[in-house]
């Protein structure tokens, strides 16, 4: 009977205990890196200046585009209707919806001044998906925001849930409503008209 060296055991245990926490928080690390970057850009005094703002805004948009999986978001927002769209319609929908989400998100976060984001927990949902609970803590308000991320090639957000209201589900009910009476092209036109 082989006797495993206690020193080896200890070494393995120590190694695992130092690696596991890092693995468990991987998605949180990816998310927090993007969020922190956005906050940093927004806190930059040059952001207030209308001259230097467009440049910084482009950087913020780039960061948002990197962390949000727009295609996945769009697919889920259409639900079963996604398959009724032609590939061209799908692409146009993703572009239009992505712009709408960007503008909505930008409007919201640009109104933030000195809020801090706290990362509360990360739960594995199975199937390469995870859920991260965060809290945006401001001067006199706290907003719990939950992100759902999927790991296709890198963790990216595919849903945002506030007070139990899922963004994807909300848009899905709206789009489902519209598609009952209108064609996909009309829906895409409505979304494109909205962003302006």
Partner 1 sequence: MPMTTTRKFLFSLVLLIGVLAFTDAHAGMESQDDSSPSAPTVINGKPAVSGEVATAPVPDPLYGWNKFWFTFNDVFYSRLMRPLAKGYVVIMPKKARTGLANIYNNFTFPIRFLNSLLQLNFVKASREFGRFFINSTFGMAGLMDLAKSDPNLQPGNEDFGQTLGHYGMTEGFYIVWPFLGPSNLRDTIGMAGDAAANPLTWIFGPWSAHDDYNPWYWSYIIKAGDTFNRLPETLDEYDAITKPAIEPYTAMKDAYIQYRRNAVAH
**From the CB of 187, what's the least distance to partner 1, in Å?**
8
**From the CB of 182, what's the least distance to partner 1, in Å?**
11
Please, which residues have CB within 8 angstroms of residue 43's CB and are 6 or more apart in sequence? 114
Sign of the torsion angle spanned by Cα atoms 30, 36, 39, 41 = negative
User: Which parts of 110-169 interact with partner 1 (CB under 8 A)?
Assistant: 125-127, 140, 148, 159, 161, 163-169
**From the CB of 66, what's the least distance to partner 1, in Å?**
21
Q: Residue 133 pairs with which residues in a beta bridge?
A: 121, 146
Comparing CA positions, the residue from 91, 155, 99, 93 lying closest to residue 122 is 155
C-beta closer to partner 1: residue 39 or 96: 96
C-beta closer to partner 1: residue 26 or 192: 192
Pick the stretch among 17-25, 35-43, 60-68, 176-184 that binds partner 1 (CB under 8 A). Answer: 176-184
The answer to whether residue 174 forms part of the interface with partner 1 (CB under 8 A) is yes
The size of the interface with partner 1 (CB under 8 A), counted in residues, is 38
Of the chain, the end-to-end C-alpha distance in Å amounts to 74
Comparing CA positions, the residue from 141, 130, 86, 110 lying closest to residue 38 is 110
Please, which residues have CB within 8 angstroms of residue 171's CB and are 6 or more apart in sequence? 77, 97
Q: Which of 104, 122, 128, 152 binds partner 1 (CB under 8 A)?
A: 104
């Amino acid at each position: 009977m082989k006797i495993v060296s206690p020193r080896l055991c200890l070494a393995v245990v120590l190694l695992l205990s130092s690696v596991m926490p890092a693995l468990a928080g991987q998605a949180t690390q990816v998310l927090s890196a993007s969020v922190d970057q956005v906050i940093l850009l927004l806190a930059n005094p040059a952001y207030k200046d209308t001259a230097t703002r467009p440049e910084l805004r482009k950087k913020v948009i780039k960061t948002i585009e990197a962390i949000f999986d727009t295609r996945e978001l769009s697919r889920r927002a259409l639900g079963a209707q996604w398959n009724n769209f032609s590939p061209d319609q799908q692409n146009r929908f993703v572009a239009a919806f992505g712009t709408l989400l960007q503008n909505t998100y930008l409007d919201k976060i640009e109104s933030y001044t000195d809020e801090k984001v706290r990362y509360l927990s990360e739960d594995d949902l199975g199937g390469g998906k995870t859920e991260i609970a965060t809290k945006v803590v401001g001067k006199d308000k706290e907003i719990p925001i939950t992100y759902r991320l999927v790991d296709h090639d890198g963790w990216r957000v595919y849903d945002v849930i506030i007070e139990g209201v899922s963004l994807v589900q909300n848009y899905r009910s709206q789009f489902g409503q519209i598609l009952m009476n209108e064609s996909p092209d009309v829906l895409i036109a409505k979304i494109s008209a909205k962003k302006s």
